Amino acid sequence: MKIAEVSERYGISTDTLRYYERIGLIPPVNRSDGRIREYGEKDLGWVDFIKCMRNAGLPVEVLIEYVGLVQKGDQTIAAREEILLLQRELLVAKMQEMQKTLDILDYKIRVYKETILNLERAL
């Protein structure tokens, strides 16, 4: 799959895909004889994983470290697990904070709806 197709499929610009490859977020993609990137299933798996992790707010530096460890092989499995466990804890804390914010918003909206309803009844 060519870079433009990957860009469209995942909603990521071609510049971002090139940047991710340049900084090591995506392992080097195979290229055709004409030096055109040819994304295979494994590459698409990395793009999907990185997009998901970035959408969840994981820092680029953490993901670069993770990808580097993957490329070093199975002897880094424990270190990779440690990275993912820490990031999971951080994400859960972030989700709890977001839930708290959502609860406050819901409360305020409910109060306003009740106030509006009471004002309408008074008229």
pLDDT tens digits along 13-69: 999 999 999 999 998 999 999 999 999 999 999 999 999 999 999 999 999 999 999
> So where are the chain's domains?
3-122
Range list of β-strands (E), the chain: none
Task: Please state, in angstroms and rounded to a whole number, the distance separating the CA atoms of residues 76 and 111.
Answer: 53
CA distance linking residue 47 with residue 58, whole number of Å: 14
Tell me the fold of 3-122. Answer: Multidrug-efflux Transporter Regulator; Chain: A; Domain 2 (1.10.1660)
What's CA 4's distance to the chain center, in Å? 20
Provide the 3-class DSSP secondary structure of residue 24: coil
In angstroms, the CA 94 to CA 91 distance is 5
The reported pLDDT for the residue numbered 91 is: 94
Q: In this predicted structure, what is the pLDDT of residue 88?
A: 95
Higher pLDDT, 103 or 33: 103
* pLDDT per residue as tens digits for the range 59-96: 999 999 999 999 999 999 999 999 999 999 999 999 99
Q: How confident is the model at residue 123 (pLDDT cuts 50, 70, 90)?
A: confident
